[in-house]
Structure 1
Amino acid sequence: MKPIVKSFPAAFVFATLAAGPAFAHAADQGFVLLLPTTAYIAGGTVTVAATILLLVCLRPGQIETILRPVTLSSGHSDGHWHHWGQIVASLCLVLLILIGLRGPTDPQANLMPLVLWTIWWMLLFMVQALIFNVWKWVNPWPGLHRLMVPDHNAPLKLPKRLSIWPAVILMAAFQGFVLADAAPNDPGRLASFALGYWGFTLLGMTLFGRSSWLGQVECFSVLFALIGTIRVARGSAFGLPGWQVFDGNRFNLSHAAFVLVILASGSFDGLYETFWWLAQIGVNPLEYPGRTAMIWPTTLGLYSSMLLLTCIFAFAVFLGTVLVREAVSFKTALIHFSITLLPIAIGYHFAHYLVTFLVQIQVVIATLSDPFALGWNLFGLGSRPVRVGFLTVPATVKIVWLTQAGVVVLSHVLAVIMCHRTAEALCTSRRDILLLQLGLSILMIFYTIFGLWLLASPRGA
């Protein structure tokens, strides 16, 4: 089985193109879809198109009513218990760094990459997006800082006009390291980056204040806050997924850029090892040259995809603003419509990592029994086998495939619904509400086809 290829947040601070051991990428699919590709892509596309047509029939205001949350109780506060959770998370990160530096050099036997990319990036990402605000409890950055300087007064201030642009830049750089670096999953290298990023974050919080730094610069706090707006629950209020986006949140161009970076990165992550992409850059998939030789093509491809998606999306929004009779600001429309892409980014994340997670979570459990490779068998987990037989049984493979495709389609359906709700907030007449979404509706349909095609595409690396 191919080892995971992912990096830690510190990567974008110390990003380097230095060559090193080449590891495979975590996002590699365990198998190639053999179901009738045309049939399931057509079915998913028709579902999204039918949703668009159904929304056309609704009266203005009905989606707003459907998305309106319900308060079930007065709710209760967790007090300061989450602060202790953050401190525990900080201690766990210290232990992981130690294991990364002193433990096995094999990424598949070292808890540093295993825990970070299986538990944090795969599992906690989805928990944050769908279930509850887990990042509030496991964010390791403010816990130690609050313990060290509980009554901290920052000597400097981050300008509000910067908004989250620093986080946008860091997230884009982080994605570049993850996909293009020669050896981003080496445990020692990963641990060094983690330690460096931790120091960078502590320094930033000390100079500019915890809340400002975490809210404007620390890109993972920004990421988890954004995807959390798709959750059904906030405190004691519950509603359909996405209702929080329209409930008092204020966004600007930097938020739009952040969402587009996330979606473009996730899309390219699924694209850059396909036979199609390798053919475009002149690489024979049967003679893959390794990650070191692919640094520049991958880097250019990734950032080109970010630029391309931004241009296509901006054109789709611009087309709608030109067609409507009412005065709708292109900037305002671009900001608000971009947030409706969040469900697609989350759906792609789930589908992209589902197979990897089902296998790697077993490796994590087995590795917990002997974190330092000293021959321990803690909790009796060392004898637990890693089972991958479900990837060879047609019945379970079909379930996995259909789950991935279903989540991708449902994420587009939710995005279409949120898009319609956004159009209703920007226009008053039925005609303009529909025309404002025309370009975006076409884009949603073609992006559905693209996303489902990615699931079916063979990998050449």
Structure 2
Amino acid sequence: MYTNDMRPKLKPIFPLLAALLLKSGAAHGHAADQGFVLLLPTAAYISGGTAVVAATIALLFILRASVLDRVLSPIDTGLSRGRLRPQKLLQFVSSGGFLALIWLGISGPTDPQANLMPLVLWTVWWMAMFVVQGFVFDIWRLFNPLVGFYDFLMSGHKSPLRLSKKLSVWPAVLVFTAFMGFVLADTAPNDPERLAWFAFMYWLFTFLGMTLFGRDAWLRQVECFTVLFDLLGTMRIAGGLKTVKLGFPGWQAFQSKEFGLSHAMFVLVLLASGSFDGLHETFWWLAKLGVNPLEYPGRTAMVASTTLGLAAGIISLTLLFAGAVWVGLLAVTHHDEHTLPKFKQAFIRFSITLLPIAIGYHFAHYFVSFLVQIQVVVATLADPLAKGWNLFGLGGVRVKVGFLTVPETVKLIWLFQAGIVVLSHVLAVLLSHKTAEMFCTRRQNVLRLQLGLSFVMVVYTIFGLWLLASPRGV
């Protein structure tokens, strides 16, 4: 999400030392671009993480179905969910703040590291809110900036057109794919003015869509971020319709919510685009394109290759996952034919179990950048127009990156990132096993149904940890 000119230009053996010498702005690169090349025994960490996932799969071989049933059964707190009274107000305020950010993007400083538009959008919204929505609480429902003004201005409005339910969320899949194309392949997605116009056009697109086709239908089928955050919400520990229920992460995926093929593709696009975000600037990828990683030609020269790479990544993951599901179905014996799902049903249900991997990798992927960029956000709040102001008494805030120059701290950070990736894969394995138990009555068939998926889980663990440790070419 951040442009190339914001990334560290130096690539010495210890590139972190450059962060201490350069001005703070130069140290805050795109979260997909690791701020340092890990000088750690990564093979040992990758092997260890993979072993944990493999051991989890093996452990499930001896667990009884009742164990996972109990683990994934929520506890009803008895607290009424009700309708949050301040929700409409918070959404209205968020809409005002969103339009103010757009104005800042157009009229404010041209430096992405001094303009709140890209800082808030990428750091607070894309990095932080994504994870909060997935594992903590439904923050999007409270602060959705796309609906506040609509609800205020169009209360009681009856839309003249209707969206066919047969479309499901396929429109949202296309919109989200286009968004990821902008993030990864656009020449300057972090330029304040460019990003502000992009955000405004999307806000206008959503407003007009809700006006023509109805608020709820548009949000449910076309507005890709509402669809995204709804999917992420199935992994939250807190949920429930009438009363608040608490449970193991992922318990909501086994409730009454219906998923379609388009939901499955949304999950695969999310995981594939996130993985490609980490891959497309590694030395390995650039070498495949014949690009010298130490003489990066810039994003403009890479638009076509990045776009094609993103498309290839989505197609490849879809085919790999489909093959894994097919292998599992093929391996199941005839004893479970009466309960065995059709390929489409299995493809859909097992795809939802990939959500923990997408959230975990997103968290680990952006963790280092968030630690630095959130400091920049706070510091910029003091002077959003670069006029020398000292709002909120934040003028004395200084961005500190010294912790990235201490080997012990860097090692702890990477171990934390690696741990998040491994734990997310372990959760995905548990959810996959529970899903298999829904389809098969015989224990041996529960295991056979997951043969292909278990292989994919282990391979993806290795791949995710390798991405975290891989040096970047820019």
User: How far apart, in 2, do the equivalents of 1:377 and 1:262 lie?
Assistant: 40
Partner of 2:426: 413
Q: 2:250 aligns with which of 242, 266, 281?
A: 242
Partner of 2:229: 224
User: How far apart, in 2, do the equivalents of 1:4 and 1:279 lie?
Assistant: 18
- Name the TM-score, length of structure 2 as normaliser: 0.92
Contact 1:340 1:415 (8 Å CA) reproduced: yes
Partner of 1:89: 94
Contact 2:356 2:425 (8 Å CA) reproduced: yes
Q: Is 2:439 aligned against 1:426?
A: yes
User: How far apart, in 1, do the equivalents of 2:470 and 2:84 lie?
Assistant: 48
Q: 1:201 aligns with which of 187, 203, 206?
A: 206
Deviations, residues 70-119 of structure 1 (Å, cap 9, x unaligned): 11223242443211110000000111011111100010000000001110
Query: How many residues are aligned here?
Result: 444
User: How far apart, in 1, do the equivalents of 2:38 and 2:162 lie?
Assistant: 52
Contact 1:5 1:26 (8 Å CA) reproduced: no
Q: Is 2:150 aligned against 1:168?
A: no
Q: 2:77 aligns with which of 72, 77, 83?
A: 72
User: Which runs of structure 2 are paired with 1:113-262 in the superposition (5 Å)?
Assistant: 113-235=118-240, 236-262=244-270
Deviations, residues 368-400 of structure 1 (Å, cap 9, x unaligned): 001111111112212211000000112211111
Q: Is 2:32 aligned against 1:27?
A: yes
Amino acid at match of 2:197: S
User: How far apart, in 2, do the equivalents of 1:44 and 1:102 lie?
Assistant: 47
Contact 2:185 2:299 (8 Å CA) reproduced: yes
3-state SS in 1 of match to 2:79: coil
Q: Is 2:465 aligned against 1:460?
A: no
3-state SS in 2 of match to 1:287: coil
Q: 1:148 to 1:137 in 2, by over 3 A?
A: same
Contact 2:185 2:306 (8 Å CA) reproduced: yes
Partner of 2:20: none
- The farther-off stretch of 80-89 and 338-347 is 80-89
Contact 1:427 1:433 (8 Å CA) reproduced: yes
Deviations, residues 147-176 of structure 1 (Å, cap 9, x unaligned): 001112111110001000000001111111
User: How far apart, in 1, do the equivalents of 2:82 and 2:3 lie?
Assistant: 41
- The farther-off stretch of 72-81 and 378-387 is 72-81
Amino acid at match of 1:219: C
Deviations, residues 188-218 of structure 1 (Å, cap 9, x unaligned): 1111111111111100000111100001000
User: How far apart, in 1, do the equivalents of 2:423 and 2:157 lie?
Assistant: 45
Amino acid at match of 1:359: V
Equivalent pairs: percent with the same residue? 62
Q: Is 2:412 aligned against 1:399?
A: yes
Partner of 2:279: 271
User: How far apart, in 2, do the equivalents of 1:79 and 1:417 lie?
Assistant: 33
Deviations, residues 267-287 of structure 1 (Å, cap 9, x unaligned): 000001100000111100111
Contact 1:4 1:185 (8 Å CA) reproduced: no
User: How far apart, in 1, do the equivalents of 2:199 and 2:457 lie?
Assistant: 37
Contact 2:4 2:299 (8 Å CA) reproduced: no
User: How far apart, in 1, do the equivalents of 2:223 and 2:49 lie?
Assistant: 36
Deviations, residues 16-46 of structure 1 (Å, cap 9, x unaligned): xxxxxxx963421111222211111110011
Q: CA deviation at 1:185?
A: 1.1
User: How far apart, in 1, do the equivalents of 2:44 and 2:77 lie?
Assistant: 42
User: How far apart, in 1, do the equivalents of 2:111 and 2:119 lie?
Assistant: 10
Deviations, residues 262-321 of structure 1 (Å, cap 9, x unaligned): 000010000011000001111001111000000111111111000000000000000011
Contact 2:4 2:298 (8 Å CA) reproduced: no
Amino acid at match of 1:245: A
Amino acid at match of 2:387: L
3-state SS in 1 of match to 2:400: coil
Amino acid at match of 1:173: A
User: How far apart, in 2, do the equivalents of 1:398 and 1:74 lie?
Assistant: 42
Contact 2:3 2:189 (8 Å CA) reproduced: no
User: How far apart, in 2, do the equivalents of 1:185 and 1:40 lie?
Assistant: 33
User: How far apart, in 2, do the equivalents of 1:210 and 1:442 lie?
Assistant: 42
- The farther-off stretch of 23-32 and 351-360 is 23-32
Contact 2:31 2:370 (8 Å CA) reproduced: no
User: How far apart, in 2, do the equivalents of 1:74 and 1:92 lie?
Assistant: 32
Amino acid at match of 1:242: G
* Runs of 5+ unmatched residues, structure 1: 7-22
Q: CA deviation at 1:126?
A: 1.0
User: Which runs of structure 2 are paired with 1:263-342 in the superposition (5 Å)?
Assistant: 263-325=271-333, 326-327=336-337, 328=340, 329-342=342-355
Deviations, residues 386-442 of structure 1 (Å, cap 9, x unaligned): 000000112211111001000000000000000000000011111110100001001
User: How far apart, in 2, do the equivalents of 1:436 and 1:253 lie?
Assistant: 19
Q: 1:5 to 1:221 in 2, by over 3 A?
A: farther
Q: Is 2:67 aligned against 1:62?
A: yes
RMSD: 1.5
Q: Is 2:369 aligned against 1:356?
A: yes
User: How far apart, in 1, do the equivalents of 2:84 and 2:318 lie?
Assistant: 41
User: How far apart, in 2, do the equivalents of 1:190 and 1:321 lie?
Assistant: 45
Contact 2:234 2:253 (8 Å CA) reproduced: yes
Amino acid at match of 1:260: L
Amino acid at match of 1:300: L
* Runs of 5+ unmatched residues, structure 2: 7-27
Q: CA deviation at 1:130?
A: 1.1
User: How far apart, in 2, do the equivalents of 1:285 and 1:32 lie?
Assistant: 13
Q: CA deviation at 1:4?
A: 8.2
Q: CA deviation at 1:3?
A: 5.8
